[in-house]
Amino acid sequence: MSENPSRRTQDPGWVAASSKLTSAAVIAFTEGPAADAEGNVFFSDIANNRIMKLSADGVLSVFREDSGRTNGNMFDQQGRLVSCEGSESGPGGRRRLVRTNMESGEIEVLTDRFQGRRYNSPNDLVIDGRGRIYFTDPCYGDRSIMEMQEEAVYRIDPDGSVVRVLQQPAIERPNGITLSPDDQTLYVVDSNHQPGGNRKIWAFDIQDDDGLANQRVVYDFSPGRGADGVRVDAQGNLWAAAGIKMPRGEGETGLNPPGIYVVSPTGELLGFIDIPEDLITNLTFGGPGKRTAYITAGKTLFQIDLSVAGHTIYP
């Protein structure tokens, strides 16, 4: 479904009554926020090729220089940071998935090739309760260097094996990705800003054999800019970072303002949180009770306290 959020109540009780949107940090081009169990937030500064850390007490520092153009990040159940090293916003992209041991600092390469070919530009990821990592691999950059013909979604199993679970034409350009709290439904953002391209959030049932079935549209943002990152709250509602103020080309419109679109699993637009900056990219939940949303947009990491809890895989 598709609906202009300006026609609806912007916040039906999602935001805590005493809270207001504040700037937590200002950098350059922010992406991929991930919060650990201690309340620290790590996020990508793709343009400057680094990962930043905002400590639980509000101190901003550089966590990693030369990040390999890291985009998406997420913590696993063991407190390790899993990162998508992409290929956007300049040279130096390593086009792989890595995992960082936060105690030792050791960086482990989880995968850098599929069937002998390098990935396009790993973008975002989600980890299920069994430790399996789903990640998207679109191509938004220089296609001349790409070894893959496909833009696809992959799964890394705990034994290190990699399976391609979804590819074109079932999905045009996979971007954000998340799972329902029970790990039974995979949600994938299809974000193709070319004229006529998909601006949809798809849902797939995960079968007993781990295959995907029952592809269906949860929400269609067309003809405005669609979603980038997406996460779910504890009730299973989707929180999608979507929209734009200044369209980047003829394939986009300003119909959807930048913000967080809260959508039910059945496609009902439940609420909208306005974000006063382009280009909104992603979000995560963290803080006490997982009731703070950290939102990346343009040069800024925003934070806002919520009356609902987000879903994360750590306790």
Tens of pLDDT, residue by residue over 193-206, are 889 999 999 999 99
Tens of pLDDT, residue by residue over 27-64, are 678 999 999 999 999 999 999 999 999 999 999 999 99
Q: Confidence class of residue 110 from pLDDT cuts 50, 70 and 90?
A: very high
Residue 170 carries which DSSP code? T
What counts of helices (H) and strands (E) characterise the chain?
A: 0, 26
pTM for this prediction: 0.92
Tens of pLDDT, residue by residue over 62-75, are 999 999 999 999 99
Domain residue ranges in the chain = 5-305
Q: What is the DSSP string of 201-268?
A: EEEEEEPTTS-EEEEEEEEE-TTS--EEEEEEBTTS-EEEEE--SS--STT--SSS-SEEEEE-TTS-
- What is the reported pLDDT for 24? 64
In whole angstroms, give the CA distance from residue 201 to residue 217: 6
pLDDT at position 188 over 70: yes
User: What is the CATH topology of the domain spanning 5-305?
Assistant: Neuraminidase (2.120.10)
